[in-house]
Structure 1
Amino acid sequence: VAQLLTRALSHHDLNTNTKGRLLTGAMIGLAIAGGAYVSTTDEATFCGWLFKSTELVNPLFALLDAEFAHRLAVSAAAHGFVPREKRPDPPVLGIEVWGRNFTNPIGLAAGFDKNAEAVEGLLGLGFGFVEVGSVTPQPQEGNPKPRIFRLKEHGAVVNRCGFNSEGIVVVAKRLGAQHGKRKMEETSSSSDVKQGGKAGPGILGVNLGKNKTSEDAGADYVQGVHSLSQYADYLVINVSSPNTPGLRQLQGRKQLKELVKKVQDARDEMQWAEDGPPPLLVKVAPDLSKQDLEDIAAYSLSTLLKTQIISNTTISRPPPADAHPLAQEAGGLSGKPLFDLSTQVLRDMYIRTGGKVTLIGCGGVTSGEDAYKKIRSGATLVQLYTALAYGGPALIPRIKAELAECLERDGFKSVQEAVGADFK
């Protein structure tokens, strides 16, 4: 506890203003209470208490500027000021994808840890996988602030960050250090079973973006592949952010085909170990036309692009969020109002691909029931982000427990059995 107090008091982010000091005091109070509690209970019970206790701190984040709160959350995860899940996931949540064993299908979407600062801490929260990025080749500031707007009444956020990134050199250095640590742990382990991924006990995805001023998008993504793919369990081509001019045009049939070929060729020309190169995914928008969906589905079935993330944020403003004053801010909307739209696109893509393409459902997930609906609609894995911003770490074990209850209630013995169940 003494060490935790010292680190908290010395950390700059936690002491920049009165609200930051208030948050520091709350965290210190919880640390003291936890220190007293841990000596009287077992590890699993204490772990549950620790996650539950974050519900007391999380409302204080709502008092802070949205982007400052985000930076504070990333810093907390990077420096160990978040709970670590010690309890095993329910066996029913386990699933194998791309030859990797996921202990659960709930992942953190790209956008939270843009620069791979807190991978270990975020995986430690109990996510089955974490996706970092989007990472651009060159550092860039992104769009002017303010650029993140909370629609609290609707559990939504509008953002126009614009791929703010420290660049691939910085991110590669961080991921390389984590990769080296993982290799040392594997060497010292006596187990022959391959657990988790390249970043540690969980699976790591790297989301690649392009620089705003770049005239050659393909070259930007290829540079990302060459620098970061060796550390990734999967790679994502992000062509669907609404905040980079011209990016969504890359979702067109001809443009996407040319782009994916360049990226695949760059990946395949590298030398890989026995487990081969990381799978390549594309992240699409929920605002695509029926023809665009058909083109992407047909292309996915005819190539090695066998996984899609559906979906990114929307430029539309689904009701009731459309009536909120901040809904008129430019940018992509995420959170609860996106759920129905993104799930319908997910269902459409599952039908168009006949269940032959692995789909990751993303958009508006706030509960285990939501995750279950995504899975029944065709998702093999599920991602969330905005719900974490509102619900904090306590959301993660709650969603996993609710999802396990949904599966068992309906007689499914595994996540895989439930994938696309609405169409079977």
Structure 2
Amino acid sequence: MDTSADARPDNPKPLSRRQRGSLKTLLSRPSCFGNETGSLPIGEFDTGTASKQVYDAQVLVIGAGGLGCEILKDLAMCGVVNSVVVMDLDTIDVTNLNRQFLFRSKDVGESKAAVAARFINERCPWMNVVPYHGKIQDKDADFYKQFKVVISGLDNVEARRWLNGMIVNLVEFDEDGDPIPETIIPLIDGGTEGFSGQSRMILPRITSCFECSLDAFTPSAAVPLCTIAETPRIPEHCIAYAYVLQWPKEFPDRKLDADSPDDMKWVHSKAVERAEKFGIEGVTYMLTMGVVKNIIPAVASTNAIVSAVCVNEAIKVLSFCSQSLNTYMMYMGSDGIYSHTFVYERKENCPVSSSATHKMSLPSSTTLNALIQQLCDGEFRLKAPSITSSENTLYMRKPMALEKATRKNLDKTLKDLISDGEELTVTDPVFPDTSLGLVIKFED
């Protein structure tokens, strides 16, 4: 008599060893750790529909670089994911080949998204990957609404802020002001730098969003142009001098192409000359590439670990087969295999995930230009804000005709433009399809 688990009455058809190792088996068996039992419940695990939920779901992967290649591979090896769209703006550079394993030497110069999709489709025919070569900002809200989960492998804060704002703004509310579950698209954000990495589960309007944690990111420190031009101290200053100052003089009608080996060799040679003049060592071709293209140090094993966590969370949020991450996992490979998780709390006055109106106290003599500068340099870290009041357009960057018409207001004081306590509406490229409510109180 066969007493194995596969031969029991409740499982009359024995599973092969191959089947027992499939994720489909996990999704077809009851679990004591279904999603509804966790500290961040999203849905109830149903063995009858879990596999179909994953198979029918459209998954969006943003980024086809070091992290994105690993994410695509992990999704394919799950064996239950069918439809994936991958987006990336970049083309393949020879420096990508040491860690972005979906690419080969013959692919240099081609679209990362297109090559990655082609590789997965050929090797893993059970999954259909559709590539898109372009900016995430090129797609509208209707495009993002079609996905059940978004996995982000972006490498810069600005793009992640924009994506976060887009996904959060897709949430609709019922008559009681509660988020409608069907409009909530989970955003799983992954990031790596050297031996460190993180993965994060963002449920728009429920958990904290990326904007809530913006204070944790140190603003990029710009090097004064006078330092680059007059008193360089480190190799990076010499490289910046070559491509910021020398290139425009030498080639005034042509923009530097960071993906062109010839252009990069020119920058490298000029940087070496500059370094020798000031007795600075350490200018290498790889460093030149890193400075010009703002390359973040990458370690393949870190990408593999973080991508696995991201895909694991995607499968859980699509099938509800296990408890979701609540809400932040940090990996620190320089300390061994140490990692920890914690709940990233929502920011009450977050300009994206809350509808709170923000207040600022300023002297009435503050100019509109000074206010705009404070919005860029302060806690909001805006890029190119436009401002309107309830009655007037104070400053609008686009279209050009309106910018020209409102430019005269930049040097005017706030007391000449608005009344004390008046609410302003601020829009900015980092907040797609949304605005910031700002009440100005005069200190004097």
Q: Which TM-score bucket, shorter chain as reference?
A: under 0.3
In the superposition, the TM-score normalised over structure 1's length comes to 0.25
Which structure is larger by alpha-carbon Rg, 1 or 2?
Answer: 2
The structure in which a higher percent of residues are helix is: 1
